[in-house]
Amino acid sequence: MSLPLIRESQLALRHAATAWLEQDPDNATRAELSELLGRLGDVNVVGEEIADDDTSDRAEAWREVRDRFATRLQFGTAGLRGRQGAGSNRMNRVVVAQAARGLADFLLARGEADPSVVIGYDARLNSDTYARDTAELMQAAGVRATLLPSALPTPVTAFAVRHLDASAGVMVTASHNPKWDNGYKVYLGGADNGSQIVPPADAEIAAAIAAVASVRKVNELPRDTGYAVADASLVDAYVEATAKVLRHSPVPLKVAYTAMHGVGWNTYRRVLETAGIGAHEVVREQIEPDGTFPTVDFPNPEEPGALDLAYETASRVGAQLIIAHDPDADRLAVAESDGAGGWHLFGGNDIGKLLGWRAAKIATEAGASGTLATSLVSSPALSKVAEHYGLGYAETQTGFKWISRADGIIYGYEEALGYLVNTETVRDKDGLSAALAVLDLAFAQAAEGKTLQDLDDEFGELFGAFASRQVALRFDDPAQLPAVMASVRATPPTQVGAAAVAEVHDFETDAQPANIVRLVLDDGTRLMIRPSGTEPKIKVYIDAVSTDGTLGERRASANERADAAAGAMRALLS
């Protein structure tokens, strides 16, 4: 194999890069691209090829240019998300400007009399710049823009869309992605209720962005610095609404907290104070916002090692509980002392089912109805809770853009540490209100001399023992993912370890298609295979359940079957 770089393709790539350079308003990315172009050398050699094993500086430069300019970062239901740098296939001020003007054109085309947008941002590198660019460009385009007053959690932006009755919202964040990434998340107000975009809006916005990119240079787009900046009352309203999640009186319980170098702490601290909860012991090394993420390359509480500093702090101060937010505070991780010097880290499905149980009890006590919702790849445990309490249950496509839209939703969660407990104010996952709900459970348990692990035992006794595992296969090139999924669909496995595959279902054939293949084994274990929406991974979500015997026997059975399926799928996918 070789990488053909004939004169025509070289000229096209160089032209695209030069055109980019001419309109880029950012000095850093201009310098980065200028240096890269200087390494390309002469392009006047017809039919030249660069072999795969050519490691010369010039060859590497051409590969880099092709990666940056042969395509563009795709706008989809997750908005934009990618590595920062110069080029159409990177996150930068040119791509953001095109997205901002394209979103403005989309909103204007809907014919709303006074379209408006609220814009938030976190503390990642360049987030504030991308947010201000968006505000200036949308204001000039005729969309009334309001910028949040500082770097704030993503849930505050989701709240602001509803609170301000805005037509749309933009949150500049890459959430828990690696430190070199950034992203652009879009919400719609009105009939969309402040939820993230779903088809067909994503395709319509993408088309509007492409139209801007094809005919206009971003340095020629009009700008207007007359946008509004939201005052402190908006954040006050979010804090007050979130503090109301607490139902039980606080009891003495030492809690350690990490913000993972993100923006969660200042707002979360105010929520705690408003709810009458004592201050947490913070992980000093990670409490201040820092877009360089000096202690973690992958600031995701699910990643191995990400909570090491939290464990150290909690052990040193004698905490009983750890609360961890990801950098934009829309996700929540929870760990509890095991009483023997170690820590029990709850999985997303574990906290998800306990908070769902809490929501069901609250609804029942109030004589209310509603729906418990989760994603297709999350544990089926929530279905048992809904059945027990006579509530509705919905399994949606992955992502809170779908979960938040479930009819009559009173609670929703996904296994990737995302929880929606305050549906009246926020229609997205919210790590701050979820933390309050977890503390609510912990306080109620502590008042009776019990722990969250005891509550998990009670759940297992009532509903059965559920075991979840996840297998992930990472690829260097995201373009490989469709081929892997196509292979799974064409020749699904008939055996997973010692268990036979009893059922295969392809969700792409459903009325609302999803890129997921489900396998059900003859022992009842469920496997969901899907590509990640934010990383170059194929993921397998494995869930086993047992309702036979004692709680210990149930757990042993469920864990054994989940572990066996996970091991077999690693072998099949590798």
Alpha-carbon distance of 542 to 519, in angstroms, equals 10
Q: Please compute Rg for the chain using Cα positions.
A: 25
Alpha-carbon distance of 95 to 89, in angstroms, equals 9
Alpha-carbon distance of 393 to 384, in angstroms, equals 9
What is the reported pLDDT for 297? 84
pLDDT lower than 70: segments of the chain: 1-8, 42-52, 534
How wide is the angle at C-alpha 159 spanned by C-alphas 156 and 161, nearest 5°?
Answer: 115
The answer to whether the CB of 50 falls within 8 A of the CB of 5 is yes
What is the 3 state secondary structure string of 44-64? CCCCCEEECCCCCHHHHHHHH
Determine how many CB atoms are found less than 10 A away from the CB of residue 539: 20
What is the reported pLDDT for 537? 87
| pTM of structure | 0.94
pLDDT digits (tens, 9 = 90+) for 372-415: 999 999 999 999 999 999 999 999 998 999 999 999 999 999 99
Annotated catalytic residue, options 127, 175, 195, 468: 175
pLDDT digits (tens, 9 = 90+) for 262-300: 999 999 999 999 999 999 999 999 999 999 999 998 899
Helix, strand, coil percentages for the chain (3-state, nearest 5) = 40, 20, 35
How wide is the angle at C-alpha 100 spanned by C-alphas 121 and 183, nearest 5°?
Answer: 45
What is the reported pLDDT for 478? 79
What is the reported pLDDT for 485? 92
Residue 341 backbone dihedrals phi, psi, to 5 degrees: 90, 0
Cα atoms found within 13 Å of the Cα of residue 198, Cβ hemisphere only: 19
What is the reported pLDDT for 48? 61
**3-state SS, residue 396:** strand
What is the reported pLDDT for 76? 84
Q: What is the DSSP string of 147-180?
A: E-SS---HHHHHHHHHHTT-SEEEEE--TTS-TT
The answer to whether the CB of 396 falls within 8 A of the CB of 402 is yes
What is the reported pLDDT for 486? 93
What tokens appear for 343 in the block?
């820590």
150 among known catalytic residues: no
The CA-to-CA distance between both ends of the chain, in Å, stands at 23
- The closest of 540, 193, 157, 179 to 326, measured between CA atoms, is 179
Alpha-carbon distance of 451 to 503, in angstroms, equals 39
